[in-house]
Amino acid sequence: MLIAFDHMIRPIALDGCDELKSVLESIVHGWKIREVDAGDAPAPAITVTRTKTGYSRTSEWLSQPAVYTDKVNATCDLLVDVFKCYLADNPSLLCLHGAAVSFGDGLILFPSSYNAGKSTLSVHLAALGARIYADDVLYILEDGNQGMATGVQPRLRLPLPENTSKAFLDFISARKGTASDRFLYLKPDSDELARYGEKAPVKVMIELERDQAKEMALKPAGTGDILKRTIMQNFSHEIPALETLERLHKLVNNADCYTLTYNDSDLAARYLKETFAK
């Protein structure tokens, strides 16, 4: 089976694993996915083959096949190559590893840090009225500081922390989506998750530092520190380095920059809402 997306030039080949199409459809929002004939489409950029050991994926971005035994985990990792293919077909875009939510008409962007809790914090913010634009990947348009939603549902790692509050568990339970032993995707309401292609300006950038030994504190951050973090989280390599630096510098300079130290996602989300929701 060849499947194509309206926003990508090249299709994906599914060899003996047509079920991945249904999994993919279950975790994206605003994508138009269709089957195409080989004679009417370019050569596939990505191929997933069902083998005795699992779902084996090959692409021009992999030095060796990636193999997963679970169909949800295989689809989750497949999205990494889908994003890279999209960038190759849309070379004017930057692409940041991070999370972003909106209160009103502007985005709060959290450039990714390892184990900083960006996805969980984003879902907590959605529970308080924010709209998720990204919990892992955000496109940055060429014109100005506009962020564009990828339209992928937020994903939580399993198991959830033992100290997760009942209110948050109830919020998650009402939105349970596709899951594996490692991940749980959520199906937020339409006002809680931006569809693919929705755009909003980045107005605030916050570097997250989760530390159980420290009290919560939101402090102004230097643009140089946030710029360094943002450069490290850009994985678009289609744009020359100097142009990338100039665009990210403009993005950071147009935003209010902070560092948030926190040890409780629920309390941090409530504080961020009080501070930035206007």
SS3 category, 256: strand
Segment 153-184, tens digit of pLDDT: 999 999 988 888 999 999 999 999 999 999 99
Strands (E), the chain: 2-5, 12-15, 33-36, 46-51, 54-59, 66-68, 94-103, 106-111, 131-134, 137-140, 146-148, 155-157, 176-179, 183-186, 199-210, 217-220, 256-262
Residues facing residue 274 across a β-bridge? none
pTM for the predicted model, two decimal places = 0.93
CATH 3.40.50 domain locations along the chain? 94-276
Judged against a pLDDT cut of 80, whether residue 114 lies above it is answered with: no
Judged against a pLDDT cut of 80, whether residue 278 lies above it is answered with: no
Dihedrals phi, psi of 210, to nearest 5 degrees: -90, 120
CA separation for the pair 225, 236 (Å, rounded): 20
Judged against a pLDDT cut of 80, whether residue 115 lies above it is answered with: no
CA separation for the pair 240, 174 (Å, rounded): 44
What's the token pair of residue 113? Answer: 């840090």
Label residue 26 exposed, middle or buried (CB < 10 Å: 0-12, 13-18, 19+): middle
Banded pLDDT at 199 (limits 50, 70, 90):
very high
pLDDT (0 to 100) of residue 268: 95
Least confident of 45-54, 75-84, 232-241: 232-241
Determine the length of the chain: 278
Given the DSSP bridges, would you call strands 106-111 and 94-103 parallel, antiparallel or unpaired?
A: antiparallel
Fold of 94-276: Rossmann fold (3.40.50)
Banded pLDDT at 116 (limits 50, 70, 90):
confident
Segment 2-56, tens digit of pLDDT: 999 988 899 999 999 999 999 999 999 989 999 999 888 899 999 999 999 999 9
Judged against a pLDDT cut of 90, whether residue 272 lies above it is answered with: yes
Half-sphere exposure of 275 (CA within 13 A, CB side): 16
Q: Are 81 and 59 in contact (CB under 8 A)?
A: yes
Dihedrals phi, psi of 169, to nearest 5 degrees: -60, -40
Banded pLDDT at 65 (limits 50, 70, 90):
very high
Better-scored residue on pLDDT, 262 or 39: 262
Segment 87-110, tens digit of pLDDT: 998 889 999 999 999 988 899 999
* Percent with pLDDT over 90 in the chain: 80
Amino acid found at 92: S
Judged against a pLDDT cut of 90, whether residue 273 lies above it is answered with: yes
CA separation for the pair 109, 208 (Å, rounded): 10
Q: Are 127 and 168 in contact (CB under 8 A)?
A: yes
Who's near 190: CB < 8 A, 6+ residues apart? none
